[in-house]
Structures are given as structure tokens and as C-alpha cells.
Amino acid sequence: MYTVTLLTSPKDPCLTPALLGALQTAWGGGDARWLAQGEAAEFDIAQMPENRWDVWADVQKLGVDLVVQPSAGRKKKMLLADMDSTMIEQECIDELAEEAGVGAYVKDITARAMNGELDFDGALTERVALLEGLNEAVIETVLAERISLMPGGPALLATMKAHGAYAALVSGGFTAFTAAVAAQLGFDENRANRLLVKGGRLTGKVALPILGREAKVQALTEITARLGLTAADVLAVGDGANDLGMLTLAGSGVALHAKPSVAAECDIRINHGDLSALLYVQGYARDAFATV
């Protein structure tokens, strides 16, 4: 049995009964269940449709995300999340670079690295080097003035944790940011790179080894082993090339507003919804979301 989930942006809910009904009929689906009126709905089907990606492309043009996945085991016991452009709306290194006066140059490198065009370790080393001499206090300024949570994130964490899930934040960014974001959202642990500081100023280097793609895979395997879980119990979410390892290993790997090369490798692609989409694809209705 498979479950079909249709969802839209909560800011512009445009899922119509007509679209839902047309797809139910075309795919021989069971009764529809509205998870949030006009925003998200689901129904069950007996087998995976051969034209799934053709239909996905069609409804994307309507502002609708489509997910088809096995019905069994949809509710996950662990959340493994990227931070930059996933749990927050920014790339922290880009914001630090703006403060250092090299924002445009660093932003271009970041975009290319996240799309898999550049080696992650080399790209991080090059960008951090440009931050040499920046006052450490700027980190707090960036956190306070430039960083905002991705919509739906607080509800995602609160709801999954209310149902007993474990949550880990794993980033190719920096501990100075993951620690703050993890505490604000309620993650159980966080892992990231550490910016080196001397005399209150950034040295332009990060502590070794650099945490990249393999470190996120390692986090998944280590944490699940420690908790007595398997990769199938994990919902992983990210947007960049360094997330692909954990996204393809997890039971549910979600490409959230992801780079094209990343989305192409994932079965769950969210381009219109926010982080609350990760609750809908697990079968949670909006009235079941935990209060935040």
C-alpha cells in the first residue's frame, strides 16, 4: 500500500478538491483525508503509479508538491536535519561574509558548492579564509540580526518530539550557530564545524577534520546505533550536495527547496511547502501539530 500526499505553501494554500479528486480517480485511490483544508491532503493507492514523476511535474506548475511513498512506517522516530537553508532561511557563512565585506564572492562559492559543483572541503576552507580577522562578536550580531527560522520548523520539532522522536542538527556550517539554533528549536544534539578564534578574532581556519558529506552519514549511523534504531526510522532533510549521503540513506530523505542536482536524487521533494510538509508526509494533520 502507498500513500499519496498533496500539499502546498501554507501562505498560499491552493489545493482544490477538484485536483485531489481528479488524481484519486486517475490512480484508483481510496477515500481522501484532508490534513489541512486547502493546504494538504492524502489518500491510499495499491501500487506505485508509473507516471508519478510526470504528474509531479504537472502539479508543480500549480504550486502543489506531490509525494508518493509506502504507507507503512511513515511516522519516523528520528529527525536528522541540515541547518543552513533548511532549519534557517540563510547560509551562515554568507551572512558572516557580508559583515566581512566579501559577501557576493562567498555567496557564489556557497551556491556552487551546495549544487555539487565544487569540493565541499576546499570550498569551505576558501570561504573561511576570507573571514580572517573578523571580530568574534560579529557571530552574535549575525545571529540576532540576520538569522531567521524556516517556517514550520518549530512545529516540526515540537510535534515529532511530542511523539517520542529524537532530533539531531547536523551542519557543514559552524557550532557557534548550530548550538543557538538547536537550543531555540529543541534539538537533542548538534554537530558542525568549529571556527578557530585567537585574541577574539577569527583566524580564517576551521578545526580539523572538516565535517562534510560523510560526517552527516556518520551522524546518522552513530546516532541510530546508539538509540537502537535503523536508517529506516530516520527522516532526514536538507538542500545541498553535502546532504545527499544522509538523504539517500534515511528511510525518508526530503529535499527541501533543494538545489536541482540534489532534488533529482530524492523521492520526496518539497518546493512549495515549508517544514510543516515533513509532518504532512508522515500523516500528521494540522490539528495534531504540537503547540509552539
Cα 69 to Cα 30, 48, 282: the distances in Å are 15, 8, 10
Phi then psi dihedrals of residue 206, to 5 deg: -115, 155
Instruction: Assess whether 82 carries a catalytic annotation.
Output: yes
**Distance between CA atoms of 47 and 209, rounded to whole angstroms?**
45
Instruction: Assess whether 12 carries a catalytic annotation.
Output: no
Helix axes 120-129, 103-114, angle to 10 degrees: 170
In this structure, are residues 209 and 192 in contact, taking their beta carbons and an 8 Å threshold?
no
**Distance between CA atoms of 212 and 37, rounded to whole angstroms?**
40
Among residues 31, 44, 58, 84, which one is catalytic?
84
Among residues 82, 239, 243, 274, which one is catalytic?
82
Selection from 47, 1, 38 nearest residue 20 by Cα: 38
Which of the residues are catalytic? Answer: 82, 84
